[in-house]
Amino acid sequence: METTEHIVETYVRYVKNWFTIPNVKARNGNELDILAIDTNENKKYHIEVSVHITSSFSKLITDEFEKGECDEAKRRRTMKFFIEDKFDKSTVLEKLNELGFKKGEYNRIIVTMHSEKSEKMEKLLKKHNIQIWEMKDIIDEMNEKLDSKYYSDDILRTLQLIKLVNK
């Protein structure tokens, strides 16, 4: 599991109190980053994490490049990539259905460093039932929840130590 996925899974478990299943394998080499269930609200979530720190790749954008029109790294920062390759791909939908995530009955989340703020983005998010979470907000919320008890989770312990050092 990538570090950013581990951070998000820790956030979902610790702050949201949701059950999680990370790195779910689907056919043809496809993988779903995190599936989560909020038992209090009886809601299900499919979460994809794509956090980049380089300025040219940190923002999730709406631009819909055609394959071959831009390099693969840029294509992976577009909503088209997430919709077609991460959420609506037949092998992904098949795996979700197998696990009881029926189309239209669960929420979709993309976690990113930054995202385009535009009317076009809002329309795409609404049309495809997708929410965007930004990594800064996740880490800030986790830091607010941390207290002085000992955490055995590596992510929580690291954040706790950074918080103590920066006091």
122-158 tens-digit pLDDT = 999 999 999 999 999 999 999 998 888 888 899 999 9
CA 39 to the chain's CA centroid: 19
| pLDDT bucket at 48, cuts 50 / 70 / 90 | very high
Pick from 44-53, 63-72, 139-148: least confident = 63-72
**Fold of domain 3-136:** Trna Endonuclease; Chain: A, domain 1 (3.40.1350)
Distances (CA, A) of 97 to 26, 80, 100, 125: 11, 22, 5, 22
Per-domain boundaries in the chain? 3-136
Query: Is the pLDDT at 63 greater than 70, yes or no?
Result: yes
* Beta strand residue intervals within the chain, DSSP E: 19-25, 31-38, 43-50, 59-60, 107-112, 114-115, 130-134
120-130 tens-digit pLDDT = 999 999 999 99
